């Protein structure tokens, strides 16, 4: 039987209630919108780069707890990273949620590993990955809004 608390771990509930790095980032170099037309989740991601390094990152928008917590945890994980490191974290996170076999060692993902429970809820994976796809598109220099569909 599924235990709902494996999905809504304390860290997720906390980041949903008090999202970190939430709100408009004044003077951002890059911004992009992402939305999930299936459920109406929307977010805007703001990025400030210092050379190749993410000097600041914020988001705002509206979504479910999984989507807000994922974005909040993502912004924490990204601050101060180089764009190459950011891409590596994106790949690891994507692998965590979508690979047929879950990674044996999630320690390298830090707090992000709390989102591993989403694996067992196929209809909710897009909630968790929306902000990540938006970030990936930003880093690839795309400017059209990201849609999960």
Asked if 5 touches other proteins (CB under 8 A), the answer is yes
Of 45, 91, 98, nearest to 67 by C-alpha is 45
Asked if 1 touches other proteins (CB under 8 A), the answer is yes
- Helices and strands per DSSP (H, E), number in the chain: 5, 4
Nearer to other proteins, 16 or 72 (CB): 16
Number of residues that bind other proteins (CB under 8 A): 25
Nearer to other proteins, 69 or 86 (CB): 69
Contact letters for other proteins, residues 76-115 (x by CB under 8 A): ----------------------------------------
Contact by Cβ (8 Å): 42, 34: yes
Q: List the structure tokens of 137.
A: 């598109």
Angle, vertex CA 20, rays to CA 19 and CA 24, nearest 5: 95
- From 30, 33, 48, 64, residue interacting with other proteins (rule: CB under 8 A): 64
- Report, in Å, the least distance between residue 108 CB and other proteins: 27
Stretch that binds other proteins, among 33-41, 70-78, 79-87, 88-96 (CB under 8 A): 33-41
| DSSP bridge partners of 36 | 41
The region that residue 29 occupies, defined by phi over 0 for left and psi between -120 and 50 for alpha, beta otherwise, is: alpha
Number of Cβ within a 10 Å radius of residue 5: 11
Q: What is the DSSP letter of 51?
A: T
Nearer to other proteins, 70 or 89 (CB): 70
Query: Interface with other proteins by CB under 8 A: which residues?
Result: 1-5, 7-8, 10, 13, 16-17, 38-42, 62-66, 121, 123-124, 127
């Amino acid at each position: 039987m599924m235990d709902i608390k494996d999905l809504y771990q304390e860290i997720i509930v906390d980041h949903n209630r008090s999202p970190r790095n939430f709100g408009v980032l004044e003077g951002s170099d890059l911004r992009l919108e992402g939305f999930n037309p299936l459920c109406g989740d929307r977010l805007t991601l703001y990025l400030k780069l210092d050379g190749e390094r993410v000097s600041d990152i914020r988001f705002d928008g509206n979504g479910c707890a999984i989507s807000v917590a994922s974005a909040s945890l993502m912004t924490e994980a990204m601050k101060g990273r180089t764009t190459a490191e950011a891409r590596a974290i994106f790949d690891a996170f994507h692998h965590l949620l979508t690979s047929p076999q879950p990674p044996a060692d999630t320690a390298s993902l830090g707090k992000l590993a709390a989102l591993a429970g989403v694996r067992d809820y196929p209809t909710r994976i897009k909630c968790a990955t929306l902000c990540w796809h938006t970030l990936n598109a930003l880093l690839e220099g795309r400017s059209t809004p990201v849609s999960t569909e």
